[in-house]
Structure 1
Amino acid sequence: MNKIQTEKYGPLTDVIFSETFDNGVLKGCAFEGKNNITTPIGILVPSYGPSNIRNREGLSLEFFKSGEIKSIDLETATEVVTPLGLISAERISFYENGSIHRLFPLNGRINGYWTEENEYSLAKPMAFDLPIGSFSAKAVSLCFYESGALKSLTLWPQEIIEITSLDGLVKVRYGFSLYENGTLKSFEPALPEPITTPVGVIIAYNCKAHGINSDENSVTYDPHGQLRSLLTSNSGLLISNAAEKNLIQPQMKPGEIDPEIMIPEPMSIIFHDNKLEIIHDDIVVVDLNRSEVRSILVHDPTEKACGNCSECSHCG
C-alpha cells in the first residue's frame, strides 16, 4: 500500500487512492487501513476499508491547498468537543484555521438499499438551549461560524420544532439559521405561517422546500431584526397606482413527477426601505412611494391546492 508524507499531519499509510491539486499538494485520499489523524479537535480516524451498504465511497480525508485539513469521514461515530458541548459525529468539515465548519452526526449513503428512514432510525435527539428557544430534535448537520457560534441547524424532514421568531412562536421544519450574535436570520415554516410585512400579512410557505441545508430559508431577517424576504405559495399582491391595478400571485405549474397535475410555484418577495421585489417568472420591482400594495390570500392553506401530495407539502 502507498504511504504519503504530509507536512502538517505526518505520514499517511495504507493509501489506496489519492488526488492532488494542480500544484501537487495533496487534495485528499482514501485508505485501506487505519490512520490516526491529529486534528485541532483531537485524534480522529478517517474511514477505511471496503464499503458496505451504508458507507460512502470516495475520499475520506480532504485538505485545503495550504495543507490544512478540510474534511474527514470518520470510521466510527466519535464524540468531539464543539462550541455546543460534546457531539457525536460521523463527518466533520473545517475552516482553514482549524475550527469546525459543519458537523454531521450521521453520514450514511442514501440509496436503493439504505433508505432515509433507515438512516433516520439511527439518529438520536439532541437538546438545544438557544436564544430563540429550547428544544430537542434529530439533526442532519450543524454549521458553525469561525468564531464557534452556531450558524445553522438542519433537521431531518420528519422533525418539527418550535422557536421564537419576530412574529412570535412558529413551527419550523428542515431548520433555521442564526446571525453570529445568536439572533434569528432565517427559518423554514413547517406550516403556512402568517407573517407581518410592510404590505400586510403574507402567508409564508414554500411547498417545494428541501432539507439539503438550512443556511438559507423561506423567511429571512436582516441583522437589525427587520423582515428581509419571504417565499409564499398562498398569498398574492394587489398593486394599485394611478394607471392600473395588477395582481401578482404564485402560478400553478405542471408537477415534475406528473405534469398533468398542477402545483403552486412559490413566489419570492424581497423588502427594501421604499420598494419591494417580486420574483416569480419575472422580477417585478414596485416603488412603494408610487404604488399601493396589498396582500391577498389566493390559495387557501386549509384546502389542498393541487391534490398531488407526492410532489409537494403545500397542505403542511
Structure 2
Amino acid sequence: MNSIKTKKYGPLTGVTFSETYKNGILKGCAFNQANHIKTPLGTLIPNHGESTLRNREGLSLEFFRSGQIKSIDLAAATGVATSLGLLSAERISFYESGSIHRLFPLNGRINGYWTENDEYTLAEPIAFDLLVGDFTAKIVSLCFYESGALKSLTLWPQEIIEIKSPDGLIKVRYGFSLYENGNLKSFEPALPEPVDTPVGIILAYDCNAHGINCDQNSVTYGQDGTISSLLTSNSGLMVTTSGSTQLVQPVMKPGKIDPEVMIPEPMTVLFHKNALEIVQDTVIAVDLLTSQVRSVLVHDPLKKACGNCSECSHCG
C-alpha cells in the first residue's frame, strides 16, 4: 500500500491513485482503505475500496494548493453541523478557511445502471425554516457563505416548493439563492411568474432552465427587493423612441432535439436606474428617460408554445 505524508492531516495510507498540481503539491487521492481526516466538522472518512454500482470513481479527497482540504467524498453518509442544524452528507466541499462551501446529502454516480430516479428515491425530505418561508423538500445540494449562512438551495427536478418573494408567494422549481442576511436573491419559477417591473408586469420563465446548481436563477432581486433581472419566454417589450416603435420578443429558434420544431429562446432583461438592457443574440440598451416601454404577452403560457413537449418545459 502506498502512503503519502501531508503537513495538515498526517500520513494518508492505502493510496491507490494521486494527482499533483504542476508544482508537485498534492491535489487529491483515491484510497483502498479508511483514512481518518480531522476537520473543523470533526473526523471524516473519505470513500475507499472498490467502486460499486452507485459509488463515484476518482479522487475522494482533494486539496487546495495550501494543503487545506478542498472536498471529500465520504465513505458513508455522515451528520455534520451547519447553520441549519445537523445535516447528513455524502459529499462536502470547503472554503480554504475550512468552512463548508457545498454540502450534498447524496453523491451517487448517475449512469445507465443507476438512474436519477434511483438517487431521488434514496433522498430524504428535509424541513427548512427560512426568512423566505417554511417548506419540506428533497434537495440535491446546499451552498453556504463562508460565514455559514445559506447561499443557495438546489432541489431535485421532481420537487416544487412555495416561498415568499417581493412579488408575493411563488412556486419554485430547481431552487433559489439568498443574500447573506437571508433575503431572497434569485429563484427559478416553476411556471411563468408575473413579476412587477418598471415597465409593467413581465412573465418570468426560462424554458431552458436546468438544476445543476441554483446560485444564479431566472429572476434576480436587489438587496432592497427591487427587480434586477429576469428571463422571459412569454413576454415581449414594446419600445417607442422618437415616434418609432419596435417589438422586442423571445426569438423562435430550431429545437435542439428536433430542428424542424421552433421553440422560444428565453430573453434576458436587465434593469438599471432609468435604463434597461435586453439581451438576446445582441444587446439592446434602452434609455427610459427618452423611450416609452411596455410589456406585452407574446406567448400565452396557457397554450403550448411549440407543440413539442419533448423539447422543453415551456408550458411548465
TM range (shorter): over 0.9
- Map residues 201-280 of structure 1 onto 2, 5 A cutoff: 201-280=201-280
- Map residues 62-101 of structure 1 onto 2, 5 A cutoff: 62-101=62-101
Aligned to 1:53: 53
Distance 2:115 2:258 in 1: 23
Aligned to 1:6: 6
Any idea what SS the aligned residue of 2:120 has? helix
Aligned to 1:291: 291
Q: Which amino acid aligns with 1:149?
A: A
Distance 1:257 1:2 in 2: 48
Aligned to 1:130: 130
Q: Could you give the per-residue CA deviations for residues 176-231 of structure 1, whole angstroms, max 9, x where no partner exists? A: 00000000000000010000000000000000000000000000011121110000
Distance 1:304 1:215 in 2: 29
Gaps of 5+ in 2: none
Distance 2:114 2:254 in 1: 31
Distance 1:312 1:104 in 2: 27
Q: Could you give the per-residue CA deviations for residues 18-46 of structure 1, whole angstroms, max 9, x where no partner exists? A: 01112221110000111111111011110
The Cα of 1:243 is off from its aligned counterpart by 3.8
Any idea what SS the aligned residue of 2:8 has? coil
Query: TM-score by structure 2 length?
Result: 0.99
Distance 1:256 1:22 in 2: 39
The RMSD of aligned alpha carbons is 0.7
Any idea what SS the aligned residue of 1:121 has? helix
The Cα of 1:129 is off from its aligned counterpart by 0.1
Aligned to 1:169: 169
Distance 1:3 1:254 in 2: 55
Aligned to 1:187: 187
Distance 1:250 1:300 in 2: 13
Query: TM-score by structure 1 length?
Result: 0.99
Q: Which amino acid aligns with 2:299?
A: H
Distance 1:25 1:49 in 2: 24
Any idea what SS the aligned residue of 1:170 has? strand
**Structure 1 residue runs of 4+, over 4 Å off?**
none
Q: Which amino acid aligns with 1:23?
A: N
Gaps of 5+ in 1: none
Aligned to 2:15: 15
Distance 1:282 1:254 in 2: 18
Any idea what SS the aligned residue of 1:120 has? helix
The Cα of 1:274 is off from its aligned counterpart by 1.0
Q: Which amino acid aligns with 1:67?
A: G
Q: Which amino acid aligns with 2:266?
A: P
Aligned length: 316
Distance 1:197 1:83 in 2: 34
Any idea what SS the aligned residue of 1:296 has? strand
Q: Which amino acid aligns with 1:98?
A: G
Distance 1:224 1:294 in 2: 23
Residue 29 in 1 paired to residue 29 in 2?
yes
Distance 2:46 2:102 in 1: 16
Q: Which amino acid aligns with 1:278?
A: I
Distance 2:199 2:189 in 1: 20
Matched residues, percent identical? 72
The Cα of 1:286 is off from its aligned counterpart by 0.4
